Structure 1
């Protein structure tokens, strides 16, 4: 699902008229923000290979709802993203990879999520992280769905990609 207003804002922020906030000693963090569009393209490409399967098996209520997006846009957005990435890496992707014909795209998404999680942890000060995000509501909903939880969580990866993209784009400033 693409929100045109959000996408317009993100396109502007990611355009040549925007650049990473310069913070002494944080060039790695600036590289994370500036380089995310490449990672996002890889995520979307891998997801496209599995998207129709997971979306066709998903008629359940959202796991990644407006509350998640609101929290990502809050002062503790980096913790929200970290917790959600941990949830996908520890709970969702290991179950999804068992579907043999989807191993490669799921592994690719997992590798990028692992790198992103590592890089965001290194850049906690750059992102001005404040308070940890409580992911228990998402985890509880996921667990209640049993086997359908994987379909639900994977079916919402495009939404998660949008949330992460929006968060990282917000860390750029206009010249």
Structure 2
């Protein structure tokens, strides 16, 4: 469970740095506010530490970064359009709150 939280923290860090705080912010008026909110969430998730070997997660993150580079601006636009999914995944991975919507977690 903690490994899922760590993974989501790393994904959010990537989205903030490599998507939201790039030239794409000129196209979307509130993207900097979203980036600040996500950055504050990742700081609150500082206790999410990976237990075990990180190589698998880091390899997947690197593949995600490479794919984003290949897609260019279209990839960044798609990532912004799917921020709601990112919030759902973060909630599922990093909280004990009751899950909402179609992405329900079974205990």
Determine if the TM-score, normalized by the shorter chain, exceeds 0.5.
yes
TM-score normalised by structure 2 residue count = 0.73
1:109 maps onto 2:34 in alignment? yes
Give 1:168's aligned residue.
94
Backbone CA RMSD of aligned residues: 2.1
1:146 maps onto 2:67 in alignment? no
Give 1:87's aligned residue.
14
Consecutive unaligned residues in structure 2, runs of 5 or more? 99-107
Give 2:85's aligned residue.
159
Q: 2:25–2:31: 8 Å Cα contact kept in structure 1?
A: yes
Runs of 4+ in structure 1 deviating by more than 3 angstroms, as ranges, are none
Offset at residue 75 of structure 1 (A): 4.4
**In structure 1, the residue corresponding to 2:32 is in which secondary structure?**
helix
- Compare CA radii of gyration and give the structure with the larger one: 1
Structure 2: distance between partners of 1:163 and 1:172? 12
2:50 to 121, 129, 133: 129
Count of residue pairs the alignment pairs up: 92
TM-score normalised by structure 1 residue count = 0.47
Residues 118-145 of structure 1, C-alpha deviations (whole Å, 9 max, x = no match)? 1101x23xxx631432211211111110
